[in-house]
Structure 1
């Protein structure tokens, strides 16, 4: 047998060096794997950020369209409601005015017109009285 075959691991003088070299290689492989993972994680993180930004842009567009659609619908409903409310208010005013007339209660405009007519007639009467008292003064 040869000299190499006669040596057992316990008696091999190169064993500590081999173990040291093997441990160093394992250590370097671990460092390499860690560095690679760190680089890949950074790239992966950057890619996730990009995809998130793209998704946010798309989402904003869709949400913006939905908001505009809802605002348009609300505007239409508001216009219809306002128009309907105005019609109801006008009908209510007409019915109340009709009911008040049937009860003999006149509208404010009617009363104001009568007051103006009374003022005019009082002024005409005062003129007539003034001219008749002037006529009386001349006769005396």
Structure 2
């Protein structure tokens, strides 16, 4: 009895073999887990990429639709603003023209019209003088 009790566990070859076998199994399980994790990571990454592509294609249409909607609204606002600006400019021109007329200052178009009439009258007068001078010579 004392011989069996005196035996140390480190000296037991069966126990050492069992521990060695267990350690080897743990090591192999770790390698297998690492390999599996590596494979799963690649598959997981590929799945994430596919889901990202699907989400992008779904959201792209919605985003483009929103962009077109905003562009349409901006164009409408721009047209209204341009129309309003044109009306304001026209109203301003009319008011300034009216104020200038009341002050006795004529518009450029009026002055240019008068200049053309004067040129036409001068041409007629010149033509009349030439006829008159020819008639006197005869």
TM-score (norm 2): 0.82
Taking a change above 3 Å as real, the CA distance of residues 132 and 12 of structure 1, as seen in their structure-2 partners, is: closer
Tell me the equivalent position of 1:73: 73
For 1:48-127, what aligned pairs fall within 5 Å after superposition? 48-127=48-127
Q: Please state whether the residue corresponding to 1:54 is helix, strand or coil.
A: helix
Instruction: Report the CA distance between 1:11 and its aligned residue.
Output: 4.8
Q: How many residues align?
A: 136
TM-score (norm 1): 0.81
Instruction: Report the CA distance between 1:127 and its aligned residue.
Output: 2.8
- Structure 2 CA distance for aligned equivalents of residues 93 and 52 of structure 1: 59
Q: Which runs of 5 or more residues in structure 1 are unaligned?
A: none
- Structure 1 CA distance for aligned equivalents of residues 42 and 129 of structure 2: 109
Name the Cα RMSD after superposition.
2.5
Q: Which runs of 5 or more residues in structure 2 are unaligned?
A: none
Contact in 1 for aligned 2:10/2:16 (Cα 8 Å): no
For 1:33-44, what aligned pairs fall within 5 Å after superposition? 33-44=33-44
Greater than 4 Å deviation, 4+ residue runs: none
